[in-house]
Amino acid sequence: MQESFVTIQDLNLKHQQKSVLTDLNWTTNIGDNWVLGGASGSGKTSLAKIIAGLQSGVGNVKINFATNTQLPAEVLFVESWYQFKNLEGVANFYYQQRYTSQQAKDTLTVHAELVAYGKEKHLHFDKVEPILEALNFSAFASSQLIELSSGEHKKLQLIKALWLKPQLLIIDQPYTGLDAASRKNLNTLFDEVAAEGLQLILISNDAELPDSINHFAEIKDGKLIEVDEFNLASHVQQHAREIPDFLKASPVYSSSAIIKMVDVNISYGEKQVLKGINWEVKAGEKWLLQGHNGSGKSTLLSLVNGDHPQSYANELYLFGNRRGSGESIWDIKQHIGLISPEFHWYFDATSTVWQSIASGFYDTVGLFQQLPYSKSAQVDDLVEYFGLTENKNELLSSLPLGKQRLVLLARTIIKNPELLILDEPCQGLDQQQTQHFNHLVDELCSNGMTLIYVGHFESQLPTCLEKRILLEKGEVKVVESLNTKTRRAELQSEIMRSTS
């Protein structure tokens, strides 16, 4: 008879009077490694937090830690993203602050963060170095926490977890923001620690999983159901809704040239992040922007968004005007709809769903004025389109991560912008939501919208993409056409080969 490790009996949880978990029962045995998948908002993260003792539920949760192992008798829950703090223990940062080097010194470096964590957990620093190398993170030792992108923050969380090696490691969306090579190396690390007795619960709908995973489950109607591996991510396909009428109109372009960069360089002290970038985006083009974590993608986009202070020191043209010719950051942003994981971090979570979407008209992180009727009607149309009607008066922060991201995606397109910048837009979405959103992107782009799309997962890309720019170590490595199905298939093969 197998020895049980985690036993859950009759677990119940309500959120705002709605049942999330209902008489849930689950037993994991010694040697079991699970993937917990399913629809966004089904209760996966709440269940993980209850097991880790970070949230309360009604019911019985028992963990039988092993006594014949050197692994710490701990449950470590790694959230989908990490809320870091400055040197004074405060986390109230603003979005543009990560690009302002003087203010960035308010946070710890990666090395200092690891030293502090090692001291807290009584870990030997030489044990973390192989993990840093495997995830290609050694070069970030001197980087400030606020300078890191979402993928780099995810790596830092994973590095600390794999360094600690608790008896039970639960990770929410382990592959979020990671490039293909990092995902493969991470799975190798998972298999290594599992061989040492660490047990895994991964919350994920991704197909790339470690070999050590031997059980699959999802939550439906508040109960945990073990499923077959091949049915893990199968959901009923959502009927594609017709996009709102106001998004069917072609954007009104102020210039035929959207972006032009001439020998653009960005440095932080002796660290050069972008090197001699030459890139031109014309009205109506649809670009895929790719590169490994740390290749410079976020910095490149910050120049386009008007957020980076070093844009004035470079030859950069946005919407037909040279940067620094008298336009304000708000003049630039009125042309752009933006979503990124970093923007999500810094968004005002005290706004309601309706207010969050409406704020996109004014490029603010909250709604500070009353909308005219015509604009209010557009917000209502998007609320319905994204299936958020029952949530429209709820606080953004009260929603599951997937629905929060849908709200911000709706905010991104509310003004039918000339340029749509979608940086990993499907992070936190389940398969159905991803399919729904990419259908919308394809529809918008068929009406003439210009697109820059950042995505590491080839299965999550819209079909409208026509061109690709690939960054490597801050330089442009490839600029190519994606106009044929053959080339898209070749691209998929190239990415798979780069991980082997």
- Regarding whether 249 and 185 lie in a shared domain, the answer is no
- Regarding whether 226 and 318 lie in a shared domain, the answer is no
> What is the predicted pLDDT for the residue at 432?
78
- Regarding whether 332 and 226 lie in a shared domain, the answer is no
Q: Are strands 467-472 and 450-454 parallel, antiparallel or unpaired?
A: unpaired
Cα(30)–Cα(217) distance, integer angstroms: 17
Cα(165)–Cα(16) distance, integer angstroms: 35
Say which DSSP state 201 is in.
E
Burial environment of residue 237 by CB neighbours within 10 A (0 to 12, 13 to 18, 19 or more): exposed
Q: Judge whether 26 lies within some domain.
A: yes
- Regarding whether 227 and 254 lie in a shared domain, the answer is no
**Which of residues 196, 231, 266 is at a domain's end?**
231
One-letter amino acid at 425 equals: P
Cα(185)–Cα(182) distance, integer angstroms: 5
Question: Which among 454, 415, 441, 423 is positioned nearest to 251, based on CA atoms?
Answer: 415
Q: Judge whether 238 lies within some domain.
A: no
- Regarding whether 251 and 180 lie in a shared domain, the answer is no
One-letter amino acid at 244 equals: P
- Give the total residue count for the chain: 500
Helix, strand and coil in the chain, % to nearest 5: 35, 25, 40
**284: alpha, beta or left? (left if phi > 0; alpha if psi -120 to 50):** left
- Regarding whether 275 and 227 lie in a shared domain, the answer is no
Question: Which among 300, 363, 377 is positioned nearest to 329, based on CA atoms?
Answer: 363
Cα(209)–Cα(37) distance, integer angstroms: 12
Contact 24, 47 (CB under 8 A): yes
Q: What's the number of domains the chain is made of?
A: 2
- Is 0.85 topped by the overall pTM? no
Say which DSSP state 245 is in.
G
> What is the predicted pLDDT for the residue at 81?
67
Query: Bridge-partner residues for 18, per DSSP?
Result: 15
- Regarding whether 65 and 173 lie in a shared domain, the answer is yes
Q: Judge whether 239 lies within some domain.
A: no
Question: Which residues lie closer than 8 Å to 364 by C-beta, 6 or more apart?
Answer: none
**C-alpha 432, offset from chain centre:** 17
In this structure, the number of other CB atoms found within 10 A of the CB of residue 74 comes to 16
> What is the predicted pLDDT for the residue at 249?
86
Contact 110, 156 (CB under 8 A): yes
Residues of the domain holding 460: 245-498
Per-residue pLDDT of the chain (500 residues; tens, 9 = 90+): 578 999 999 999 988 778 999 999 999 999 999 999 878 788 999 999 999 999 999 999 999 999 999 999 999 999 886 665 545 444 444 444 455 544 446 678 899 999 999 999 999 999 999 999 999 999 889 888 877 877 788 899 999 999 999 999 999 989 887 888 888 999 999 999 999 999 999 998 887 899 999 999 999 999 999 998 755 444 444 546 788 999 888 888 888 999 999 999 998 877 889 999 999 999 999 999 998 888 889 889 989 988 888 888 899 999 999 998 888 888 898 899 998 877 777 777 788 999 999 999 988 776 667 889 999 999 999 999 988 999 999 999 888 877 888 898 899 999 999 999 998 888 767 777 788 788 888 988 888 899 999 986 666 789 999 999 999 999 999 999 986 554 555 555 554 444 34
> What is the predicted pLDDT for the residue at 91?
45
Q: Judge whether 333 lies within some domain.
A: yes
Phi, psi of 324 (to 5 degrees): 100, 5
Contact 167, 30 (CB under 8 A): no
Question: Which among 228, 217, 231, 223 is positioned nearest to 36, based on CA atoms?
Answer: 217
**Which of residues 231, 263, 289 is at a domain's end?**
231
> Coil, helix or strand for 428?
coil
433-481 residue pLDDT tens? 788 788 888 988 888 899 999 986 666 789 999 999 999 999 999 999 9
Question: Which residues lie closer than 8 Å to 441 by C-beta, 6 or more apart?
Answer: 420, 422, 451, 453, 462, 464
**Which of residues 197, 231, 265 is at a domain's end?**
231
> What is the predicted pLDDT for the residue at 490?
55
* Rg of the chain, C-alpha, whole Å: 23
- Regarding whether 148 and 257 lie in a shared domain, the answer is no
| Residue indicated by tokens 């080839």 | 458
Q: What is the CATH classification number for the domain harbouring 148?
A: 3.40.50.300
> What is the predicted pLDDT for the residue at 93?
45
- Regarding whether 256 and 190 lie in a shared domain, the answer is no
Q: Judge whether 237 lies within some domain.
A: no
Cα(339)–Cα(188) distance, integer angstroms: 31
